[in-house]
Amino acid sequence: MTSLPLWAAVLAGAALAAAPVVTLAATARAPAVHVVTIQRMAFGPAPAGLRVGDTIEWVNNDIFLHSATAKDRNFDVELKPKTHVRVVLTRPGTIPFSCRYHPGMTGALVVAK
């Protein structure tokens, strides 16, 4: 069995120590929960940084019945006054939504992969 001279072993160890370490855990992020509040007959601003797998928590702070209904029917939730409902985002893209009961209430979610 041949062994490396001491200086070669030290250099090899230093090169390994200086090599960048990449782990998947460092680049992946856990799904997040984002809140969209409804009040005064309007949806609050759509959250930024949405990704597939994230959850939208729709919160109805109004005294009226509302819905959060995707134009493509990807989701359609009814929100009684003073309640909240969660929806998991399942696909990327821009998802326009509105309230079934108040068509002037609109918004859009921009979801990345």
CA distance 108 to 20: 40
Strands of 84-88's sheet in order across: 42-43, 33-39, 55-60, 84-88
Q: Please count the other Cβ atoms lying within 10 Å of the Cβ belonging to residue 109.
A: 22
The arithmetic mean of pLDDT across residues 39-65, rounded, is 97
Residues 64-92 have pLDDT tens digits of: 999 999 999 999 999 999 999 999 999 99
Q: Is the pTM of this model over 0.95?
A: no
Q: Where are the domains positioned within the chain?
A: 30-112
Q: What is the pLDDT of residue 20?
A: 52
Topology given in CATH for the domain delimited by 30-112 = Immunoglobulin-like (2.60.40)
Confidence of residue 37 (pLDDT cuts 50, 70, 90): very high
